[in-house]
Structure 1
Amino acid sequence: MSETIHNADNQTGPHSAITGASILLDKVTKRYPGQQKAAVDGLTMEIPAGKIVMLVGPSGCGKTTTLKMINRLIEPTEGRIVLDEDDVTDIDGDALRRRIGYVIQAGGLFPHMTVATNIGIVPKMLGWSKEKIAARVDELLELVSLDPAVYRHRFPKELSGGQQQRIGVARALAADPPVLLMDEPFGAVDPITRQRLQDELLNIQEELQKTIVCVTHDFDEAVKLGDWIAIFTEGAQLVQYDTPERILADPANEFVENFIGSGAGLKQLTLTRVNEVNLADAVVASVGDLGSDVLSRLDEAGHNHAVVVDERRRPIQWLTRRQLTRLDRVSDDVDAKLPVVGDRATLNDALDTMLVSSAGAALVTGRRDTFLGVIDVETVMDAITRAHKHAMTAHSDGRPVGINTGTLDTVGTSGAATVGERPGG
């Protein structure tokens, strides 16, 4: 049956309960034999439970070493790493790694194992029953927007790069760990797939509220994903640890300014997400609807396109009037090139998607890829204009109006910091 979706506003629901754990790195140092300088030198920082913290900095600055010391893939030379109340150096390494999910570039799947077997590895080690593991595999495939019936028995070679990365995330979440570590997780996929995987991670995080620590070389990715960003220089010296908004508005020093690069004002636009703007109405059709009925709905609404959704309300086609006049009934064909953005995507992401859309707009999806509405160029340009005006207006403290500033309490003199809540996070 055809329908029209009306979007007076697009507010997200309340966040789920936090299931993540806090992490404290207390004067952590890593020295390798034969090297004069420490790879990580006296790092102190606190990672709050249920937040995404992005570790960025130039190559060789120690961010990946820092990440791997959290789950002791690399053993710290000095200092403490505390997961909630537990010092990880007092925990058996294998037992610790079963409590912490780990995602690497390209998923890191075992090629000789099916998707279901890959995801179920850690639960099997923990002694879960076959029935419980099978149920968890299907639950996680649903979570990463892959149909269990289609994908559970496939092998990695039968998956695209983006699908492999989704399976990698599902495997890391299999035993429901409080912490997820990600090392350049989306670096090996094309830009469009990368954007969709980023959106998927944000949707998953909204639902699960894990503690996620992610290494990236891409500062734009850090701004998009991070509740907090830690900028390192050589030796994992923490130069600035703050919200993306405050780093962009108030860089700590020249090093941070240079690392951000030119166009910091434009990067402010990546702070606005699709779910913060009003979506346009859409005429929605289902598979099997009469083409003439859908055309009547278009006439009534004054629209030129109809969105076709499947039984789970996921968009599969976006039909023009001309296409509908040639149809007796709406088919179940799937358009692989459908211009779709997640509601957690940035406005920059939305604009990129619209550039390849003949409709000059994009379809917006929410959790589990459910269709929410349409975003068009005019909506994005209005939001960009408003954001630019806010960015040009400063408070007496020099920070732009309308930018969340969070809280930051400096610890010592090394640039290490303890963070509080990010507003709206």
Structure 2
Amino acid sequence: MSETEIPSNGGRAAGAGILLEDVTKRFPGQEKPAVGGLTMEIPQGSIVMLVGPSGCGKTTTLKMINRLIEPTSGRIILNGEDVTGIDGDQLRRGIGYVIQAGGLFPHMTVAANIAVVPKMLNWDKERIRSRVDELLELVSLDPALYRDRYPKELSGGQQQRVGVARALAADPPVLLMDEPFGAVDPITRQRLQDELLHIQSELHKTIVCVTHDFDEAVKLGDWIAIFDEGAQLVQYDSPERILASPANEFVENFIGSGAGLKQLTLTRVNEVDLVMPVTASVGDLTSDTLSRLQGAGEQNAVVLDERGRPIQWLSRRQLSRLDRHTDAVDPRLPVIGNQATLNDALDTMLVSSTGAALVTGPRESFLGMVTVQTVMEAITAANDAAQQGSSSAPVGINSGMIQRAGDPVPVQDVAGTGAPQ
């Protein structure tokens, strides 16, 4: 590997492990460092959420990984190789970067925006076109409809999806995200979060994400790093253990009230058993659907389009008024992704007249139905599992202290120098 290449698995790049080793950043004119002596292990293929109050150094930490901000001292190790000495531009071409509101170039089409890095890497036109279409499909945007549009013709959520596609264009092992969903409405934010989890389930990248939203950190993160001023790592652990055992009063205050309710975000819909209702396809006779509903003892049927996506949820009374199923889409359909949390599911159920929600998977394909009873049973199971603990947390160090699972101990009490064990 040349000195200007970032690590890659060749073909489809898997996530890369990252280690910030005794990293410090001092800005001119500031008495205290923005980041002080941080050593932090980011496990390969995981989502690590950086949270903390404004000005605590989490965005500075993020930007030092791809050296948009150069560290004053310390090393950044990517997949076992120190990248602090290689060309910064070359490094950044191999690390995906997503900012708030997408950061798209307004004078370029969606396809041209996504193709920026592949063009820099001298990909041929056919490979670029194929990759653009593949990524638009991945973020649930029809290439035929969106490839030639400009950013101003997209909604905020669509722009953010394109921003994610652009960050993934050259298949980087690492994806950095700086408040990626902070500029969209709550409903769109939930959908974008679900989409990111779907993408991660397929690609297994290493994702580092800055957020001010602790609920978002719990929903998305495999691990959560809570920073205080100067990027002092107060607690670095799984969402389950942070909610169950906050390291100190600072963490308790940051989590805020309602920690019990936040437990609902610890279990995702894909972890519970779904109920399969009666389904029908566009063009089917409604009389056939009514017969199947009667035989199953059910009151409602889900209508699927030609791609297996739910578009209607009709009662027996509604079906009796029709001859065949149409392709009309009900915009009020209570749909959630299978990567959504139980908290999301309950929110969706509250506005559903059926007291349940329809669940979709990758490419919005229909998977089944989740009910209130299913959620309540899963909550009980999740609480039991949380009491049994989980795997060891990654290592985080500041100023001569090392932290595992929310319990600071002196570095000298750990074998070696505090590097990941």
What TM-score do the two structures reach when normalised by structure 2?
Answer: 0.90
Paired position in structure 1 for 2:135: 140
Work out the CA distance in 2 between the residues paired with 1:18 and 1:377.
Answer: 39
1:257-276 aligned within 5 A: 257-276=252-271
**Residue 404 (str. 1) matches residue 385 (str. 2):** no
Paired AA for residue 112 in structure 1: H
**Residue 230 (str. 1) matches residue 225 (str. 2):** yes
Shift of 1:411: 5.3
Work out the CA distance in 1 between the residues paired with 2:292 and 2:145.
Answer: 34
| Shift in alpha-carbon separation, 1:233–1:158, aligned structure 2, 3 A | same
Shift of 1:415: 4.0
Shift of 1:34: 0.8
Paired position in structure 2 for 1:363: 358
Work out the CA distance in 1 between the residues paired with 2:347 and 2:247.
Answer: 31
Paired position in structure 2 for 1:246: 241
Secondary structure of the 1:296 match is: helix
Between 140-149 and 172-181, the greater mean CA deviation after superposition: 140-149
Work out the CA distance in 2 between the residues paired with 1:106 and 1:408.
Answer: 31
Work out the CA distance in 1 between the residues paired with 2:391 and 2:49.
Answer: 17
Does the 8 Å contact 1:48/1:419 carry over to 2? no
Paired position in structure 1 for 2:7: none
1:291-330 aligned within 5 A: 291-330=286-325
| Cα RMSD, aligned residues only | 1.9
Between 311-320 and 52-61, the greater mean CA deviation after superposition: 311-320
- Regions of 4+ moved over 6 Å: 418-421
Paired position in structure 1 for 2:415: none
Does the 8 Å contact 1:245/1:405 carry over to 2? no
Paired position in structure 2 for 1:108: 103
Does the 8 Å contact 2:397/2:403 carry over to 1? yes
Between 267-276 and 408-417, the greater mean CA deviation after superposition: 408-417
1:288-321 per-position Cα deviation (integer Å, ceiling 9, x unaligned): 1111111111111111111111222111111222
**Residue 74 (str. 1) matches residue 60 (str. 2):** no
Does the 8 Å contact 1:407/1:420 carry over to 2? no
Structure 1 gap segments, 5+ residues each: 1-16, 392-399
**Residue 98 (str. 1) matches residue 93 (str. 2):** yes
Does the 8 Å contact 1:30/1:39 carry over to 2? yes
1:270-297 per-position Cα deviation (integer Å, ceiling 9, x unaligned): 1111112111121111111111111111
Does the 8 Å contact 2:18/2:77 carry over to 1? yes
Does the 8 Å contact 1:287/1:330 carry over to 2? yes
Work out the CA distance in 1 between the residues paired with 2:317 and 2:298.
Answer: 12
**Residue 119 (str. 1) matches residue 98 (str. 2):** no
Secondary structure of the 1:89 match is: coil
Secondary structure of the 1:21 match is: coil
Shift of 1:407: 4.1
Paired AA for residue 406 in structure 1: S
Paired position in structure 1 for 2:144: 149
Number of matched residues?
A: 396
Does the 8 Å contact 2:40/2:395 carry over to 1? no
Work out the CA distance in 2 between the residues paired with 1:293 and 1:305.
Answer: 13
Does the 8 Å contact 1:361/1:375 carry over to 2? yes
Work out the CA distance in 1 between the residues paired with 2:198 and 2:34.
Answer: 34
Work out the CA distance in 1 between the residues paired with 2:397 and 2:70.
Answer: 24
Work out the CA distance in 2 between the residues paired with 1:177 and 1:161.
Answer: 24
Paired position in structure 2 for 1:39: 34
Shift of 1:410: 6.4
| Shift in alpha-carbon separation, 1:124–1:409, aligned structure 2, 3 A | closer
Work out the CA distance in 2 between the residues paired with 1:90 and 1:249.
Answer: 41
1:39-84 per-position Cα deviation (integer Å, ceiling 9, x unaligned): 1111111111100000000110000000011111111111111111
Shift of 1:236: 0.2
Between 324-333 and 57-66, the greater mean CA deviation after superposition: 324-333
Q: Name which of 157, 163, 173 aligns with 2:158.
A: 163
Work out the CA distance in 1 between the residues paired with 2:123 and 2:225.
Answer: 37
Q: Percent identity?
A: 76
1:202-228 per-position Cα deviation (integer Å, ceiling 9, x unaligned): 111011000000000011111111111
Work out the CA distance in 2 between the residues paired with 1:218 and 1:376.
Answer: 27
**Residue 414 (str. 1) matches residue 409 (str. 2):** no
Paired position in structure 2 for 1:11: none
Paired AA for residue 390 in structure 2: N
Paired AA for residue 147 in structure 1: D
Between 20-29 and 407-416, the greater mean CA deviation after superposition: 407-416
Work out the CA distance in 2 between the residues paired with 1:146 and 1:338.
Answer: 19
Does the 8 Å contact 2:265/2:343 carry over to 1? yes
Paired AA for residue 341 in structure 2: T
Secondary structure of the 2:401 match is: coil
Shift of 1:385: 4.1
Work out the CA distance in 2 between the residues paired with 1:286 and 1:406.
Answer: 47
Does the 8 Å contact 1:47/1:419 carry over to 2? no
Structure 2 gap segments, 5+ residues each: 1-11, 405-417
